[in-house]
Structure formats: C-alpha cells, structure tokens
Amino acid sequence: METVVVMVRDEHPLIQLGLLDPLFLVEGVAIRVVGVTGRPSRRRLLSSRNRRALRLITRGGGIAELADRLRLPLERAEAIHEELIRMLGLDRIVSQVRAAFGARMLGDGEMLLRRPEARDLHPSEVSSTPERTMTDLDLVRVFFPDAEARRRDGGWEIVSDPQHRSHRLGEGATEAEAWSSAVLRLWKDDWFRPLIVQIRSMAAEDQGGA
C-alpha cells in the first residue's frame, strides 16, 4: 500500500471537518490530507447520515454499498454520494493523486500505479531533462491546487490561493521563472523535498515506460 500526502488550504472542507483518517479513494493508495498549518479558521459539521456516508466513501465504498448500509433507495444514495464528492472536493483530490503517481487508466477503469525508486535529484536537474512530463506549475499544484500566477510590479508572483489570505510561494521576472522559484522554495523545505523527489522521479519513469 502506497501512502501519499496531499496538502490543501486550511479552509478546505476536509480540514474543517477534522478528518484525520487516510482516504482510500484510489486502489492501492492511502491518501493523507493535511492543511497548511493544521489550524482551520472554523469547524464544519455534517449530519449523522452524511458522516456515516463519508466514512463509507473514504474507505472505498461505492453507491451500492451506501444504499445497502444506510438503507436508502439507490437513487438517494447516488445523490448523497455525488453531493459529498462535490462538496468535499474528493474528485479533485483523486485527480491530484493520479497525476502525482503518473497513473494510467486501463480500459476497465482499474488504476495502474508505477512505483519507481526515487532518485536524489535536485528539482532543477529533473526540470532540465527533455523527457520530463511534469512542469513546475504541475508540481506546485500537487501541493497547492489553487496556486496561481499573477502580475505584480516588475514581474510575476505565485500565490497559494488568490481567493483567500495566502502566502507567496515564488516570484520572478517572468511567469515561468516565478513557478520555478516556487519549486525551489518548496525544495528548501525538509518536509517537501522527499515528496518532490518521489513525484519527479515517478513522472520521469512513467514517461520512460510510455
């Protein structure tokens, strides 16, 4: 079982719910969702039924299981399933994890995960390889899905979330330089560095096997 960490802003619904258990939304992967500071500005509550439904979903339960365990008509279980997926951004988290692992979807929808051994490369070295498939923008958004580039006096800056109070991740004379600056800033952090090595190596290995 692989474990992957997805970092989201503290205002994310899963952080506000205080959900600490791993999510089993992708076959063979345990997903841990963490906030930037771990201190959400407010708490969010769910109804008793929706809490039970969420527990089933995060353990890999589908619509049929929800209907059976919650004793609901299939149509109602499907509506609750879609509502929670959308409200809590679970589909977006799954997309992030698939991108980070260089996942490929087989014809029957089964998830094929590549698990290459991480090489200890500086991010600039990996970025310079012509076969790379993950841009600096892609890499930053694995950790900060709402990160965006915006103009400022004399150049560009990357902010973690333009819709909320956020911090600057990088800056540069051009947009590309700003994204590269953000990657280098994350690289200097001991928490992010091993994750960057793993993600970059997976992307390179996936391209090599294509």
Residue written as token pair 């979807």: 105
Give the relative orientation of helices 63-70 and 48-58 as an angle to the nearest 10 degrees: 140
Together in a domain, 189 and 147: yes
Together in a domain, 93 and 27: yes
Whole-model pTM?
A: 0.47
Give residue 55's identity as a one-letter amino acid code: R
Instruction: State how far the Cα of 22 lies from the Cα of 34, in Å rounded to an integer.
Output: 10
- Residue 37's CB is within 10 A of a number of other CB atoms, namely 10
Q: Which residue has the higher pLDDT, 123 or 13?
A: 13
Instruction: State how far the Cα of 46 lies from the Cα of 52, in Å rounded to an integer.
Output: 9
What are the backbone angles phi and psi of residue 23, rounded to the nearest 5°?
A: -100, 135
Together in a domain, 60 and 104: yes
Q: Give the model's pLDDT for residue 1.
A: 67
Please give the average per-residue pLDDT across 6-24, as a whole number.
79
Please give the average per-residue pLDDT across 196-209, as a whole number.
65
Together in a domain, 82 and 172: no
- Tell me the per-residue pLDDT of 126-169, one tens digit each, with 9 for 90 and over: 333 333 446 888 888 888 888 889 988 889 999 887 776 567 88
- Tell the burial category of 54 from Cβ atoms under 10 Å away from its Cβ (0-12, 13-18, 19+): buried
Please give the average per-residue pLDDT across 186-202, as a whole number.
76
- Tell me the per-residue pLDDT of 39-59, one tens digit each, with 9 for 90 and over: 666 677 888 888 899 889 988
Together in a domain, 96 and 144: no
